[in-house]
Amino acid sequence: MKFAIIAAGKGSRMASEGEILPKPLVKIGGEPMIKRLIDSFIRCNATVISIIINEEMDEVRDYLQSLELPIPLDVIVKSTEGSLLSFYEISDRLKDDKFCLSTVDSVFDEDEFVKYIDAFEKDNDVDGYMAVTSFIDDEIPLYIDVDENNYITKFSDESWDEVRIISGGIYALSVKAVKVLNDCIQNGITDMRDYQRELVKAGLKLQAYEFEKIIDVDHVNDISTANEFVKEVERKKNKDNV
């Protein structure tokens, strides 16, 4: 299966808060965020990984070029005005089969991710598995509603009394999703949130797959939250292995 990473954002919020590294190279658990994703994808038997970075990310490009990996790394250097346009720039590489797309700043338990990808690859009755979490610590959460079969019925910027889960920024999708993406761009829709709403409007069957936690690293204080989460995951694994 093909995998892709959106890493073209400027990381201006973290930079304004004093972070000197480009966001993809910020270390979580002692490793750059982008390398954590690459390693997780390889563990899931990725055939190729496409990554889009912006034109100012010389340090990130040099880092990616220095990696020795068992699979091809396809790096696209292009500045865009948002995540959906970044997705569009790499979508031609993903249009032939199932694929998984993640934003670079999503931090999760790798074991949960492996189970997520395995479930998606085995399920031929859906158009996508959207990673969700009940851990709501995002600055601007995208709330999700589901039906009795856990299929997504709504993406909303507003919460409601029964809301329990939000989007985690990880999308395992079929080729149908690329068609919707192309329609969105042609119709002037350029926001990732609106794209997800269009997936529902188009009738795609999107399964909500819940992770215990997905940390969205947008601010400097999110780095410590993500590092503590990674330590927590390791402590739990070590305890289970005793």
CA 18 to chain centre: 24
The pLDDT of residue 71 is 97
Three-state DSSP state, 217: coil
Prediction pTM value = 0.95
Which tokens sit at 198?
Answer: 């269009």
| pLDDT, tens digit only, all 242 positions of the chain | 999 999 998 778 898 999 999 999 999 999 999 999 999 999 999 999 999 999 999 999 999 999 999 999 999 999 999 999 999 999 999 988 999 999 999 999 999 999 999 999 999 999 999 999 999 887 889 999 999 999 999 999 999 998 999 999 999 999 999 999 999 999 999 999 999 999 999 999 999 999 999 999 999 999 999 999 999 999 988 888 76
The pLDDT of residue 242 is 61
Three-state DSSP state, 33: helix
Per-domain residue ranges of the chain = 2-216
Helices (H), the chain: 12-16, 33-43, 58-66, 83-90, 110-122, 175-186, 192-201, 220-241
Distance from C-alpha of 227 to C-alpha of 242, rounded to nearest angstrom:
23
- Residue 161: half-sphere exposure toward Cβ, Cα within 13 Å: 0
The pLDDT of residue 194 is 97
Provide the 8-state DSSP code for 113.
H
Fold assignment, 2-216: Spore Coat Polysaccharide Biosynthesis Protein SpsA; Chain A (3.90.550)
Distance from C-alpha of 167 to C-alpha of 219, rounded to nearest angstrom:
18
Q: Using alpha carbons, list the distances in angstroms from residue 24 to 58, 95, 186.
A: 12, 25, 30
